A and B are shown apart, each in its own frame.
Chain A
């Protein structure tokens, strides 16, 4: 199975900060990577697919980059609604696997 390693596990930041979350795959996955946002008690929300393509309706302050084994999710200017947990997921090969998540909390 492909292991997905996210860092950091927790990130403390303030409104307006630029935030970057890293996701590393244990094998090359090309750009078959998605990012999701999850708030407590809610289902994950689809943000980005193919490593860098923003889903329709997702604010442009979110961006994704990377290919192969190294990926990043960047929030250019953190907003109050962005405090949540973020997960990466590979869909290059079976079984699909997720990172353990990065919790973005208020500093």
Chain B
């Protein structure tokens, strides 16, 4: 069965970077985009960007451009999202999700809580 398993919770100081991993199983990793979505405490869902595991090409929302880097290691079916220059309001649960051929997100990781605190 399709599974996306993310790395554990992180606590970072303002200005630091965080790197979250998302390991896929149960399907051909290179066949589906991986998207990253975040959710601040008590708030809605915010799409951050996607990576094409096959080519490594990526694109991000304007809000994150210049601060987010999405990469992958196809040998271990894992995508990574690195967010730099962290601010207090980057505190959120970060999800990876598989983009299906229709463009929606059919499978999600369990989420990774990133807390930015001094």
Q: Are B44 and A89 in contact (CB under 8 A)?
A: no
Q: What separation, in Å, do the CA atoms of A36 and B104 have in the docked complex?
A: 10
Q: Are A94 and B59 in contact (CB under 8 A)?
A: yes
Q: Are B47 and A100 in contact (CB under 8 A)?
A: no
Q: Are B44 and A99 in contact (CB under 8 A)?
A: yes
Given A43-B110, A55-B106, decide whether A49 and B59 contact each other with a Cβ distance below 8 A: no
- Given the complex, which residues of A lie within 8 Å of B106, measured CB to CB? 46, 49, 55
The total of interchain contacts (Cβ-Cβ below 8 angstroms) comes to 53
Given A43-B95, A95-B47, decide whether A34 and B62 contact each other with a Cβ distance below 8 A: no
Given A43-B109, A43-B110, decide whether A98 and B104 contact each other with a Cβ distance below 8 A: no
- Given the complex, which residues of A lie within 8 Å of B102, measured CB to CB? 49-50, 91
**Is the CB of B103 closer than 8 A to any CB of chain A?**
yes
Of listed B45, B46, B103, residue having the most chain A CB within 10 A: B45
Q: What separation, in Å, do the CA atoms of A32 and B104 have in the docked complex?
A: 9
- Given the complex, which residues of A lie within 8 Å of B59, measured CB to CB? 94
Among A45, A94, A98, contact of B46 (Cβ-Cβ < 8 Å): A98
Among A46, A94, A100, A101, contact of B105 (Cβ-Cβ < 8 Å): A46
8 Å CB contacts to A: which residues of B55-109? 59, 61-62, 95, 97, 100, 102-109
Task: Give residues in B with beta carbon < 8 Å to A.
Answer: 35, 44-47, 59, 61-62, 95, 97, 100, 102-111
Given contact pairs A43-B110, A91-B102, A96-B103, a sample of 15 additional A-B residue pairs in the complex whose CB atoms are under 8 Å apart: A32-B103, A34-B104, A36-B45, A36-B105, A43-B97, A44-B95, A46-B104, A46-B107, A49-B100, A91-B104, A94-B59, A95-B61, A96-B47, A98-B45, A99-B44
